Chain A
């Protein structure tokens, strides 16, 4: 049992333990789940320190047979792509628990248990190296989120939860069919074996088969991302979910989709990915602009942040389908950035909702006078989200635009429009909420941060700055994984890419 196994097992065991604590012991339940998630986070840092760049293949591999017939392996391992997404999950789970500390009073046992189950699934999804195992974790994630939205959400929670579940389910059954089809061809679920089989020509897929398989995987992932026009579940789910739910949904679960695109769609079906890239990119750009425009007219803060996610995730898809190393690096970096900054925005909006019990922008005004620290942190987060240099999103967006420009300059023009629009809607919202006249209601209901709230926000702000300034902590491992994936995707990339000699950022040659 290695470190990675432990990281999956601990939240799982924590989930089961929580179920056995009597529901009256609410404080004990909170402490236990927080302890478990903190332990998982601390241990997950071992992945970062133990990860060695420059080694072929995955690291922290653990491979045992789970089911003998058909042969399904418990095969987990990480590369630079999954490394930081796993740490993002373990980093945000304790924060999600802290955020809900006081807000969740009703049936708190189930709530906190579900957060641990969610973490179990998320770490599993990002480390599974067996297609079947991947599918299992993929679906496992669905269940706790369904309940988080449906039980603890706002007024239209049931509609949102069911819509969320059915959308995802419809996509994933297609993926299951594709996985089984691949198994029947390859005789194994092992991803590395399937990949080398496809590359080596041992698994022959006709052109039509490859396209259909690509689409089956792609639709499942595109729903999760969500790519325009499959995004309609997202505003509902985000707005109705409790803060912790929105946080985990936006920050980590959406990345399951983009992760799947990079991990599976590109390397397994390179030809189909290239052939279909054109319309996918168009959809991504539509998503960027459409999401931003819709965000601009939202009267509801949470909905605004939700639509901004559609826009941001459009960037990620654009970067992925630019087939350039910079674009892909930017896309992966943007997945992490979006996790931090949009997560922080959802938390802040949640804090304000707890105080004022409203999400409507019109109900606020002058908050900066009443709660200056809240306003400051919100401002930092806003600036991070719109891509101010020295803060995290700037790096990701810049890389995506740069990579896209290498592939197709015209795409960059449209995508850059999204950057400008994001500044508009975010700053406009900031102005309406935090400046202006201080109303009586806001004045009396807007205390500044408590110690617990500080504890949630400080780590996030640190990460925004760190990721904005010192990318070397994160990018080398990501770049290495991306180069490998691009090479698997084929040689007719717009630009050949190679592994940089030492650390540092790869340069297109």
Chain B
């Protein structure tokens, strides 16, 4: 099976380098931050946030540049296509919002800013690499770069007990899940003699040449376990509430969106390109996992009193919706998943930003009842949270609605009628716990937390208003993003 090695030319071309531009920019910037850290940390703590926003914006430009020269790079290890570009933009946007949401938090907690931002940038490097990878080893490397940075971030306030618990839990379970993924990669390599996704696809697609079918299925199942962990799909979601609750709030916002979006990107890429041929084997897995995630997430969220835990369970439920799109195994399903992840990132970060703002120093105010009277004390903050919550419920004219709509449309088109009905009923259940927040916010009298709430700082304000605008735009004029997603689905590609 081994193809003969052609005399390879390992010198990367100029195009190759351009395709790798976002990662290069962020790596350089991250390293620079580490060097500058001892020099400026005491004097100008805001500097690092500003620099990382600049770096992320430069990486956005780099991503746009890379998009002009689509194609594979570095001996086909990376592939810059519309799909990769979509997710690169998404994780970079998530990065920018996270940095904006972190200024005040780091200030309050008197945390080191240099390393924090460097770690965020490195995590994003890993995620950019993941979404553009065409090779299981590259995927693994990207995943590890991202994961290691986030393991540290989850325990960033090292004197805080909960931070330590979150980091340890995340690290142990995360490594365990990565091992599954790696096991799957090894099996696949053993059977197909390649780790490149397009080549695996070719091998599996060759008629009469499905080698060791059982082995391939087992490999797919193992990789499913690893990835389901990363996207917190049930039944591998157990770590999610504990880690989100324990991690610093801005990090939890990041964990719930960035690594998740990137993990879904490779989930889609692996299962819809490499494993498309054996789709009938893995579809039931996804089906069950989608239903479990939605149901467990929503029902568990009903009883939560801690805002971070509630958002954690809600993120499990939302992973379920995206898995529904994956179970549809179609082009519009892929586009729907992409659209949903974008809408989800905006509304979820937005909701987390309100939590960051409300929680205050030492994250004291995290109970649902702490929101009481927010509508009276800070009408703008409350109005923004209302937009995010309505979007999470899936009320029309918000991004969340169109996301759900596209997903369930794709599911119905693939004849997943029961999954659709159960999913939609689930979203009615979900309305209850989001409404509870609205009730407390607008219909209860202000309490301690809201009476002593400081005004929004510019960073937090930007981190609220930008996603709110994005949520509304996705809800009123979704065409632009959806078309981009639909043009760049990888379904059945190559």
Contact = CB atoms under 8 A, between A and B. Distances in A.
Contacts of B150: none
B435 A70 contact: no
B478 A150 contact: no
Interface in A176-235: 176-177, 180-181, 183-184
Interface in A141-200: 142-143, 146-147, 150-151, 157-158, 161-162, 165-166, 169-170, 173-174, 176-177, 180-181, 183-184
A177 B408 contact: yes
Contact of A184 (B393, B396, B412): B412
B413 A184 contact: yes
Interface stretch (B254-262, B276-284, B423-431): B423-431
B424 A143 contact: no
Interface in B432-456: 432, 435-436, 438-439, 442-443
Contacts of A449: none
B420 to A, nearest CB: 6
A135 interface: yes
Interface in B341-391: 375-376, 379, 390
A136 B396 contact: yes
A139 B431 CA distance: 13
Contacts of B395: 139-140, 142-143
Nearest to A167: B428
A61 to B, nearest CB: 22
B409 interface: yes
Contacts of B420: 177, 180
A interface, over-half SS:
helix
A270 to B, nearest CB: 23
B77 to A, nearest CB: 33
B438 to A, nearest CB: 8
B477 interface: yes
B123 interface: no
A177 B412 contact: yes
Contacts of B425: 170, 173
A462 interface: no
Nearest to A212: B417
Interface in A44-81: 67-70
B408 A180 contact: yes
Contacts of B436: 162
Interface in B462-486: 477-479, 482-483, 486
B405 interface: yes
A162 B439 contact: yes
Nearest to A133: B396
B442 A150 contact: yes
Chain A interface bracket (under 10, 10 to 19, 20 to 34, 35 or more): 20 to 34
Contact of B443 (A157, A170, A177, A181): A157
Interface residues of B, number: 35
Contacts of A183: 409
B405 A180 contact: yes
A135 B431 contact: no
A181 B420 CA distance: 10
Contacts of A23: 379
A8 to B, nearest CB: 13
B319 to A, nearest CB: 19
Nearest to B404: A176
Nearest to A153: B443
Contacts of B479: 67-69
A98 to B, nearest CB: 25
A139 B396 contact: yes
Interface string A18-49: 00000100000000000000000000000000
Contact of B405 (A147, A157, A161, A176): A176
Contacts of B412: 177, 180-181, 184
A196 B417 CA distance: 25
Interface in B391-421: 393, 395-397, 401, 405, 408-409, 412-413, 417, 420-421
A177 B421 contact: yes
Nearest to B411: A180
Contacts of A142: 395
A176 B408 contact: yes
A67 B443 contact: no
B439 A158 contact: yes
Contact of A169 (B401, B409, B428, B439): B428
Contacts of B417: 181
B478 A67 contact: yes
Given A150-B442, A151-B443, A136 B432 contact: no
Contacts of A69: 479, 482-483, 486
Given A151-B442, A158-B439, A162-B439, A135 B427 contact: no
Contacts of A176: 405, 408, 424
Nearest to A149: B443
Contacts of B439: 150, 158, 161-162
A140 B443 contact: no
Given A140-B396, A169-B431, A183-B409, A158 B443 contact: yes
Interface string A112-148: 0000000000000000000000011001101100110
A169 B208 CA distance: 51
Contacts of B438: 146, 150
A173 B421 CA distance: 8
A161 B478 CA distance: 30
Given A147-B442, A177-B420, A67 B477 contact: yes
Nearest to B376: A107
Given A69-B482, A69-B486, A165 B443 contact: no
Contacts of B483: 68-69
Given A67-B477, A165-B431, A180-B412, A150 B397 contact: no
B424 A173 contact: yes
B211 to A, nearest CB: 37
Contacts of B435: 146, 162, 165-166
Contacts of A166: 428, 431-432, 435
Nearest to A176: B424
B390, B409, B417 — which one has the most chain A CB atoms within 10 A of its CB?
A: B409
Contacts of B431: 165-166, 169
B361 to A, nearest CB: 30
Nearest to B395: A139
Contacts of A135: 396
B428 A70 contact: no
Interface in B189-207: none
A184 B420 CA distance: 13
The 9 closest A-B pairs by CB, nearest first: A173-B424, A136-B396, A170-B428, A139-B396, A180-B409, A169-B428, A184-B413, A67-B479, A169-B431
Given A68-B479, A170-B425, 11 more contacts: A68-B483, A140-B395, A150-B439, A150-B443, A151-B442, A161-B439, A161-B443, A162-B432, A166-B435, A176-B405, A180-B409
Interface of B: 375-376, 379, 390, 393, 395-397, 401, 405, 408-409, 412-413, 417, 420-421, 424-425, 427-428, 431-432, 435-436, 438-439, 442-443, 477-479, 482-483, 486
16 contacts: A67-B477, A67-B478, A69-B479, A139-B401, A140-B395, A142-B395, A146-B438, A151-B442, A161-B439, A162-B436, A165-B431, A173-B428, A174-B424, A180-B412, A180-B420, A183-B409
